[in-house]
Amino acid sequence: MRGSEPATLEIDREYYGVVGETKVHRYVLRNQGGLTVRILDYGGIIQSLEAPDRHGESANVVLGFPALEDYVANNEPAAARVYLGSIIGRYANRIAGGTFVLDGTEYRLPRNNGQNCLHGGTAGFDTHVWGASVMRSPDSVGVRLTHLSPDGDQGYPGRLATTVTYRLDNQNRVHITYLATTDAPTVLNLTNHTYWNLAGEGSGPIDDQRLMINAGRFCPVDADLIPDGSPIPVDGSPFDFRTPVPIGARLGVDDPQLSLAHGYDHNWVLEQAEAGSLSLAARVHDPRSGRRLTMWTTEPGLQFYSGNFLTEALIGTGGRPYHRGAGFALEPQHFPDSPNRPDFPSTILRPGDAYRQNTVFELDLD
């Protein structure tokens, strides 16, 4: 997919609708390698990503909804939210009991996942229209998104200023960069919740797509999908993806962790050459199309989710329903429930410090 000549990069901004009284725009990024990425400033959503297969035929390889109103409806508190393609904050993943203690003060959050707070609460970063500006450089195009979360938003302390940038470069890589600062001590854990299907969205289950995760340990969970105890080795378990394995190969194995999560919905402890360094996290290959996705991140953990609760009630961008296992999510992040787990890498952000994260997704062919 890489050409010998420098790629021609383009970006367009188009009106996409209204949420409340706020206009929403879509940003279309293109390169000469055949990638087209569509990003909404509502929720920072990656709506689609078209990529060619080994025969040069393009398909959208991420799950999304066909219209803005579908995203808005799925973000309603009563909806079975799936967070397709969105920025997740203030806290990705689960916080047990919807509470945590910071510097001696207890903070209470919305309980939107049983007794837990999931993905920031009932009105997380995925429900807001972000400020947006176009970015252009000789080797990339992108969009810079900004959001100011007030003190007490969803129960979290501190006034938080967040910037997320998406860039498409000449090497068929999508860079996602996060920066955040606060005026009071808080906790923070950001990620992007794109679902991938390298055979094409709506094409069927992702069972045959081969996954590698660069991790020798994972976090077992309890019945509420909260980490239970310390991370354990993947050796001899269905959670060993150190060499590529089809995603569906072991989903039917009689394993208590698979039963609790109805598949994979766990945090892996990534191998990193140095804490905070950009390191190889995962690679997925689709034998049918030849497409291959490689992910690098500076984060210590990776939540791999096998689409266990997707249902045919969700109609995708191509007009086809999304069944269970229609896509997988690779969510680089800190560990679940870290504010209540001093033994986990800290997610505390204090005034004067900056939260930084860099994640890169590269698409190429076998």
Strands (DSSP E) found in 20-103: 22-30, 36-40, 46-52, 58-60, 87-88, 94-95, 99-102
DSSP type of residue 91: B
Whether residue 336 contacts residue 270, with contact meaning beta carbons closer than 8 Å, is answered with no
Q: What SS3 state is found at 258?
A: helix
pLDDT at 273: 75
Q: Which 8-state DSSP code applies to residue 89?
A: -
C-alpha span between 31 and 37 (Å, rounded): 9
**pLDDT tens digit at each of 366 positions of the chain:** 444 444 489 999 999 999 999 999 999 999 999 999 999 999 999 999 999 999 999 999 999 999 999 999 999 876 789 999 999 999 999 999 999 999 999 999 999 999 999 999 999 999 999 999 999 999 999 999 999 999 999 999 999 999 999 999 999 999 999 999 999 999 999 999 999 999 999 999 999 999 999 999 999 999 999 999 999 999 999 999 999 999 999 999 999 999 999 999 999 999 987 888 899 999 999 999 999 999 999 999 999 999 999 999 999 999 999 999 999 999 999 999 999 999 999 999 999 999 999 999 999 999
Spatial distance between the Cα atoms of 1 and 11, rounded to a whole number of angstroms? 20
Query: How many structural domains is the chain composed of?
Result: 1
Nearest-CA neighbor of 264 among 306, 228, 205, 211?
306
In this prediction, residue 76 carries a pLDDT of 86
Q: List CB contacts of 17: < 8 A, sequence separation 6 or more.
A: 23, 24, 67, 68, 69
Which CATH number fits the domain that encloses residue 148? 2.70.98.10
Enumerate residues 6+ apart whose C-beta is below 8 A from 147. Answer: 125, 128, 130, 131, 161, 162
* Pair of tokens at residue 291: 């497409």
Kindly give the pairing relationship between strand 10-19 and strand 22-30.
antiparallel
pLDDT of residue 78: 67
Span between the terminal Cα atoms of the chain, in Å: 10
In a domain, 18, yes or no: yes
Q: Residue 80 corresponds to which amino acid? A: A
What number of other Cβ atoms are within 10 A of residue 208's Cβ? Answer: 15
Q: Is residue 261 part of a domain?
A: no
Give the Å distances, CA to CA, from 193 to 8, 30, 84, 107.
28, 21, 6, 25
Task: Please tell me whether residue 211 adopts helix, strand or coil conformation.
Answer: strand
- Specify if 197 maps to a domain: yes
**pTM, full prediction:** 0.96
- Token readout for 208 is 């045959």
Cα–Cα distances in angstroms (integers) from residue 64 to residues 39, 50, 156, 363, in the given order: 11, 12, 29, 18
Residue 277 included in any domain: no
What SS3 class is residue 203?
coil
Residue 101 belongs to some domain of the structure: yes
Residues with catalytic annotation?
A: 193, 331
What pLDDT does residue 197 have?
98
Residue 242 lies in a domain: no
Q: What per-residue confidence (pLDDT) applies to 107?
A: 98
In a domain, 274, yes or no: no
222 lies in a domain?
Answer: no
* Side chain identity, residue 260: L
Res 274: pLDDT? 83
Q: What is the pLDDT of residue 190?
A: 98
Q: Which domain holds residue 35?
A: 10-206+305-365
